[in-house]
Chains A and B, each alone.
Chain A
Amino acid sequence: MVKDLSVDLCGLHLSNPVIPASGTFGFGLELAGDMDLNVLGGISLKGTTREARYGNPTPRIAECQSGMINSVGLQNPGIDALVNEKVRALRKVYGGTVIANISGFSVEEYRECCAKADACGGIDLIEVNISCPNVHGGGLAFGTSARAAAEVTAAAKAVCHKPVFIKLSPNVTDIVEIARACQDAGADGLTLVNTFLGMRIDIARRQPVLANTMGGFSGPAIFPIALRMVYQVAHACHIPVMGCGGISSARDVIEMMMAGATAVQVGAENIRNPYACPDIIRELPGVMEELHINSLKEIIGTV
C-alpha cells in the first residue's frame, strides 16, 4: 500500500514532515547542486538578523559523544539580502515550504525582520528564534522569560499574515510556561527545541574548545530530552508543534510525531551526513509498513 507521508501545518501542505533545521542547511542553495531539494517537506533557512553578521570567531565547532556543540553566532547576510537574494535564488530550484528563521537583539528588530519576511513572496512560514544561545543580549534572552517571549510573539504576529512559529529554548525551568505564553500571545505554532547550552575543554591546552567558550549542544544525545519537551508542550497547547532535537532516523521521526509533533526538524545529523534528510525520507515508508502506519497524520500526538 502506498504510504501517505504528507502533513498539514497551519494550512500549508507538506509532502512529508521532514525539514532541515535552521542553521544546519544554510540557505538551501548550498546543497542545491548535491541533491534534489524538492524531496524535502520544507527548509528552515539559516537564522537571519536585520544587519549582516559575521558571527563568532573560530573554533565554532566542538565534538561530543553523540553530538556536537556549535557557536556559529548567527552568521548571516541580513534580512534584505535574505529576501532579495537568497530566497529568490532558492525559489528557482525549490517548490516546497520555505521557512524564514528570524532572530534579533530587540523587539523592534524582530518586528522589522518579520515584516520583511512576511512581505517576501517566496517565504511560507516565519519561525521566530528566541532561543539562540550564541549571541549576547539577543535570541536566548527573549526565550527564557515568558513575558519577553510573549512580547516578541505579539510583535511578530502584529506584522505577519503568514503563520508564525516561535522556536523555543530548552534552557529554561518550565518550557510549558513559555510555550503557553507564546500561544496566548497569538503564535500559530511552536518549534522545539533549540540547542542546549554546553561546553567542552581542551584538557591539553587547558582552554575551552570553542573560541566563544560556550555553545549550543545538539545531536542524538539530546533526543530523549527534546522528545519529552515536545510531549509536554504538545499536550499542554492546542497549536501545532515542529519537533526538533537529535532526530537521526525515520524511527526518531515517528517517535517525535507520536509525542505530538506535526512536523519534524533534523539538525545536527545534516552536519555529519549532508544527505540525512533525503535518507530519512526514503526510509520512512519502510518503517511505516513495519509499524502498520498508512498515514503519518494518523500518528500525531497519539501517545
Chain B
Amino acid sequence: MKKHIYIIAENRLVAADTYRLVLTGDGKVDGEFVHLEVPGFYLRRPFSVCDATEGRLTLLYKTVGEGTRALATLPEGTEVSAVTGLGKGFDAEACREKALLVGGGLGAAPLYLLAKELKALGKQVTCVLGFNKEEEVVLEAEFRALCNTFSLATLDGSAGIKGFVTDALRELQPEYDYFYTCGPMVMMKAVCQMLEGPGEASLEERMGCGAGFCYGCSIPTAKGPRRVCKDGPVFKKEDILW
C-alpha cells in the first residue's frame, strides 16, 4: 500500500455516463484497485485499475452517485490523492493455455489489464463483453486488438449479439481451461453457474478503508468471512456464496 498524489492528465467522457481518467505520477501502480479521494467527500472511492504503465494509470468510471459526478468535473492538471497497491487481483498464472474473460459493463476495465498480462504470458485469450446498449460500449477496439477471439453482446441488440453475455457464450462455445469474470453480481453469478471448470470473479462491496483493517466489506465465503478489499476482490468461483 502506498499513498500518492497524482495529476489528472485526462478525464473525458468515452461512453454513456462513462469517463476515462488518466492519472500521471511516479512509478507503476500495482494492485487490483486504487482508492481515490474526491475533493469534498469524506471516504475514498475504489476504482479497478484498467491499465498501468510506468508513470501512468488509467481508470474507467461511471457517474452513478454524487462522488463520481463530482469526480467528472475535475479538470486536467488537478492533483488527486490515491492509495494504491490494494486488493488481490486475478491470478493470470492459474490459466494453463486458454483463458476466457467475461465482462459486464465497466467490469471490462480490470479485464483489460488482465488480458495484457495473459498475452504477455503467452496465453490464448477469448473475451466476451456485455453492455446494455451500444452507447455504453467501452474498450472494444482495445480488446479486439489484444484477444485471439472477441465477442460483444448488448441487451437491446444495438451492437453485437442481442442478449446477455451468457447468450454470447452459448453461441461462441469458447474453448478455455480457466475463466475470469467481472461485472454486476447477477451477471457473474450466471456466468459462474453456467461455465464449467475453474474460474474466478471480481466482487464489489461498499468499502471503508480499502486496505483490510476496518472490516467494513467482509462477506461470508465458503472459507469463512473474507474482506473484499484485502482477501479479494477476486475470489475463486467455488468460494463465493451467491
Q: Does B213 contact A (CB under 8 A)?
A: yes
B213 and A274: CB pair below 8 A?
A: yes
Candidates B1, B215, B220; contact of A26 at CB < 8 Å? B215
B217 and A274: CB pair below 8 A?
A: no
B230 and A30: CB pair below 8 A?
A: yes
**A142 contacts across to B, CB distance below 8 A:** none
**B208 contacts across to A, CB distance below 8 A:** 60-61, 68, 70, 271
For window 194-242 of chain B, which residues contact chain A by CB distance below 8 Å? 205-209, 211-220, 225, 230
For window 1-41 of chain B, which residues contact chain A by CB distance below 8 Å? 1, 3, 37, 41
Q: Does A3 contact B (CB under 8 A)?
A: no
Smallest CB-CB separation from A27: which chain B residue? B213
For window 38-93 of chain B, which residues contact chain A by CB distance below 8 Å? 41-44, 67, 83
Known A68-B208, A70-B208; judge A272-B216 contact (CB<8 A): no
Smallest CB-CB separation from B230: which chain A residue? A30
**A272 contacts across to B, CB distance below 8 A:** 37, 42-44
A63 and B213: CB pair below 8 A?
A: no
Nearest Cβ on chain B to A35's Cβ, whole angstroms: 9
**A62 contacts across to B, CB distance below 8 A:** 206
Nearest Cβ on chain B to A266's Cβ, whole angstroms: 13
**B225 contacts across to A, CB distance below 8 A:** 54-55, 75
Number of interface residues of A (CB under 8 A): 33
A61 and B1: CB pair below 8 A?
A: no
Interface centre among A219, A271, A275 (most CB of B within 10 A): A271
**A67 contacts across to B, CB distance below 8 A:** 42
Q: Does A25 contact B (CB under 8 A)?
A: yes
Nearest Cβ on chain B to A127's Cβ, whole angstroms: 18
**A249 contacts across to B, CB distance below 8 A:** none
Nearest Cβ on chain A to B44's Cβ, whole angstroms: 6
Interface centre among B1, B217, B218, B225 (most CB of A within 10 A): B218
**A70 contacts across to B, CB distance below 8 A:** 208, 214, 216
Tell me, in angstroms, the Cα distance from A55 to B43 when the chains sit together. 22
User: Do most interface residues of chain B lie in helix, strand or loop, or is the interface mixed?
Assistant: loop
Nearest Cβ on chain A to B21's Cβ, whole angstroms: 20
Known A30-B230, A70-B208; judge A274-B83 contact (CB<8 A): yes
Q: Does A59 contact B (CB under 8 A)?
A: yes
**A268 contacts across to B, CB distance below 8 A:** 42
A75 and B218: CB pair below 8 A?
A: yes
Known A54-B218, A274-B3; judge A65-B211 contact (CB<8 A): no
Number of interface residues of B (CB under 8 A): 26
Tell me, in angstroms, the Cα distance from A273 to B230 when the chains sit together. 16
A60 and B209: CB pair below 8 A?
A: no
**B213 contacts across to A, CB distance below 8 A:** 24-26, 30-31, 270, 274
A274 and B1: CB pair below 8 A?
A: yes
B217 and A60: CB pair below 8 A?
A: yes
Q: Does A290 contact B (CB under 8 A)?
A: no
B42 and A59: CB pair below 8 A?
A: no
Tell me, in angstroms, the Cα distance from A272 to B214 when the chains sit together. 11
For window 16-31 of chain A, which residues contact chain B by CB distance below 8 Å? 23-26, 30-31
Smallest CB-CB separation from B37: which chain A residue? A272
Candidates B42, B214, B219, B220; contact of A65 at CB < 8 Å? B42
Tell me, in angstroms, the Cα distance from A268 to B216 when the chains sit together. 12
B216 and A60: CB pair below 8 A?
A: yes
Tell me, in angstroms, the Cα distance from A149 to B43 when the chains sit together. 33
Nearest Cβ on chain A to B204's Cβ, whole angstroms: 10
Candidates B43, B83, B211, B212; contact of A68 at CB < 8 Å? B43
Tell me, in angstroms, the Cα distance from A24 to B208 when the chains sit together. 10
Nearest Cβ on chain A to B206's Cβ, whole angstroms: 4
Nearest Cβ on chain B to A38's Cβ, whole angstroms: 17
Candidates A63, A75, A271; contact of B209 at CB < 8 Å? A271
Smallest CB-CB separation from A56: which chain B residue? B218
Nearest Cβ on chain B to A115's Cβ, whole angstroms: 25
Interface residues of A (CB under 8 A from B): 23-26, 30-31, 33-34, 46, 54-55, 58-68, 70, 72, 75, 219, 268, 270-275
A61-B206, A61-B214, A270-B213 given; 10 more Cβ-contact pairs under 8 Å: A24-B214, A31-B213, A61-B43, A63-B42, A63-B43, A63-B67, A64-B42, A67-B42, A274-B209, A274-B213
9 A-B contacts, Cβ less than 8 Å apart? A23-B215, A61-B216, A61-B217, A63-B41, A68-B43, A70-B208, A268-B42, A271-B216, A275-B3
